[in-house]
Chains A and B, each alone.
Chain A
C-alpha cells in the first residue's frame, strides 16, 4: 500500500512534464483522457463501489457542463465560481434523481436512471432559448483562475485538469479505505446483511449517488472549460453507455481502472479514426472481447499476470506440483 502514493506522485510529475516534450495535439488528447477519466471514476463509485449499475450518468455530465457553460457566459469569468455553479446544479439533479431511483434495484434502477437522464436530455434538447437546442452551447470564453491568470492556452487548461484529477484521485484513495467507503462495498456485497446489521442502506445509496453525480458534474464542467462547447449528443444515453464501457473495460471497483479504461477508449478512438470512420465497430468488438475473456478489465489482466508471475517465482522455490496449476485453471475458467 505504501508504494501507491510514491507511484502516484511520480506519475503526476511525469504528466506535468508532458507538455514540454509533446505537441499540443497530444496534450489535448491527454486532457480529454483526464476529463473522461474523472467522469468514469465518478460512475465507478456507483457501479464498482456500491454495486448499482446506472445507465443515466451522462445527465450529470450534461448538467455540470451546461450549468458551468451558462454561468461562464452570463455571470462570471472566475473558474471556481462557474465550476461551483456546475457542481451545485449537478448535485441538485443527483438529489432529485437519487431520491427517485435508489429505491429500485438491479434492472429497474438501470431503467429509472435511464429514464431520468433521457428526461434531462429532452429538456436540454427542446429548451432552445437557454441551451441552444441541437446547436449546442458555444461561445464560452477562457476563464480566470486567480487574479490575472487566465486559462487562455490549452496547456494551462491541461494543467488545471491534471491538478483537479490528482486531488480527486488522492481523495478517492482515502475514501476507499474510509468507513463510509466500506459501507458502500458492504451494500454491493450484500445489501440485506448491511440492513440487518443496522445500516440505513437507502440513505447510504443516496449518498453514493450524490457523490457520484456531483463528480460527474465536475467532469462536465471541466469538459466545457476544455472544449468551449457542449451539445445535446454529449447528454444522450449512448454517452452514458460509453462511459459505462470505459469503467468496465478498465476494471470495475478499482481506483485506477476507470482512468485506464478512459485512456484505452480515447487512444483507441484516436488511432482507429485516423484510419477508418468505423471506430464504433472496433470499440464494440474490443468491448465484447473484454466482457467474455477479461470480465475484470485491464486492471484484472494486470493483476492476474502479476499473480501468475509471483506464483511462478514461488513454484521455483517450493513445490512444483499440481496445486498451482489447478488454481490457475480455476482462474481461467
Chain B
C-alpha cells in the first residue's frame, strides 16, 4: 500500500511536469498549425541554461526559475519571427520539417556548449527534504511540482476560457481566417502564442532538471513524450492536455513499477489505442 502511494505521488508529479512541458507544444500546434519539433530542444535548452545559472554562476534556483523561461521565450520569439514567419506560405508540412532541422542544429549546439555528460541540478534548499505523508517519505520537491503544475493549469485554463485573450485563441483554433477577418492581427497572435509556448518549455526545463536531469539526445525523448500527450489529449485544449499528461504520467510510472520490461511499449500502445479509437484525442475536436 505504501509503495503504491509513493508511486501515485511519483506519477502525479511526473504528470504535472509533463503538463508544463507539453501545454506549449499543444497550444502552438493548435493555433499555428505547426507541429514544433524543436519544442523538446527548447525544453533542453532551458534545462542547460538553468544548470549554468544555478551550478556554474551560483545563482539561487528561484532566480533561474524567473530568468530562464524569459530567455527561452525570447529565443522562441526570434525563431518565430526569423524562421517561421517568412515561411507561412510554404505550408505546414515544410514548417514542421524546418523545426526538425532546427532540432538537429540545437542538438550540436548543446554538445558544443555543455558537453556530453549527464548534468543534474539540485532542488532548492528549502525543498531539499522529504515530507512524511501516511508513513511515507515523499520528496518535498515533487510535492512542490504538483502544486506548481496545478497553479499553472488553473492559470492557463482561466486565461483560455475566461479572458478576452483566451477568446481570441479559442477562435483562432477553430477558424484562423475568420479571426483575421474580424480585425485581429492573427500574425501577432501567432507570435504571442509561440512566445508563450517557448516560455512554458523553458519553465519545464528548469523545473524538470532536478527530477529528470539533462543529457544529450534528451530533446528527442521529451519531444516524443510531448507528442504522445498531444495525441492522447487532443489539440489546443488545456483540459485535454492536463488529463492526458496525468494519464501518461501514471501509465508510465506504474508500468515501470509493475512491468518494467514492457514499460516503453505500454505508453506508445496507449497512444496507438487512442489514435485508433478516438483520432481527435480524448477531448479534442478534429483539426487538420
Contact = CB atoms under 8 A, between A and B. Distances in A.
Interface string A207-251: 000000000000000000000000000001110010011001000
Contact of B262 (A126, A285, A292): A126
Interface stretch (B54-62, B99-107, B190-198): B99-107
A238 B98 contact: no
Contact of B264 (A53, A122, A244, A277): A122
B94 interface: yes
A114 B96 CA distance: 15
A118 B98 contact: no
Contact of A115 (B35, B101, B275): B275
Contacts of A244: 97
A115 B262 contact: no
Given A100-B272, A108-B288, A112-B275, A283 B262 contact: no
Interface in A259-316: 277-281, 283-285, 287-288, 291-292, 295
Contacts of A114: 224, 227
A116 B272 contact: yes
Contacts of B86: 292
B112 interface: yes
Classify chain A: how many residues form its interface, as a range: 35 or more
B86, B93, B104, B112, most chain A CB atoms within 10 A? B104
B64 to A, nearest CB: 26
A75 interface: no
The A interface, classified by DSSP as helix, strand, loop or mixed, is helix
A284 B108 CA distance: 10
A296 B279 CA distance: 31
Interface in B89-141: 90, 93-94, 97-98, 100-105, 107-109, 111-112
Given A111-B231, A126-B264, A291-B98, A280 B272 contact: no
A248 B97 contact: yes
Interface in B207-231: 220, 224, 227-228, 231
Contact of A291 (B101, B103, B111): B101
Interface residues of B, number: 37
Contacts of A104: 275, 279
B40 to A, nearest CB: 11
A241 B269 CA distance: 21
Contacts of B98: 288, 291-292
B265 interface: yes
Contacts of A122: 264-265, 268
B108 A278 contact: yes
Contacts of B108: 277-281, 284
Given A122-B268, A292-B87, A287 B101 contact: yes
A53 B97 CA distance: 11
B94 A291 contact: yes
A146 interface: no
A100 B112 contact: no
B104 A237 contact: no
Contacts of B261: 126
Given A278-B112, A295-B94, A237 B220 contact: yes
Interface in B254-288: 261-262, 264-265, 268-269, 271-272, 275-276, 279, 288
Contacts of A108: 231, 275, 279, 288
A288 B288 contact: no
Interface of A: 53, 100, 103-108, 111-112, 114-116, 118-119, 121-123, 125-126, 236-238, 241, 244-245, 248, 277-281, 283-285, 287-288, 291-292, 295
Interface of B: 35, 83, 86-87, 90, 93-94, 97-98, 100-105, 107-109, 111-112, 220, 224, 227-228, 231, 261-262, 264-265, 268-269, 271-272, 275-276, 279, 288
A-B interface, 5 closest residue pairs, ranked by CB to CB distance from nearest: A284-B104, A122-B264, A281-B108, A278-B108, A288-B101
Given A281-B105, A287-B104, A288-B101, 5 more contacts: A121-B264, A122-B265, A236-B220, A278-B111, A281-B108
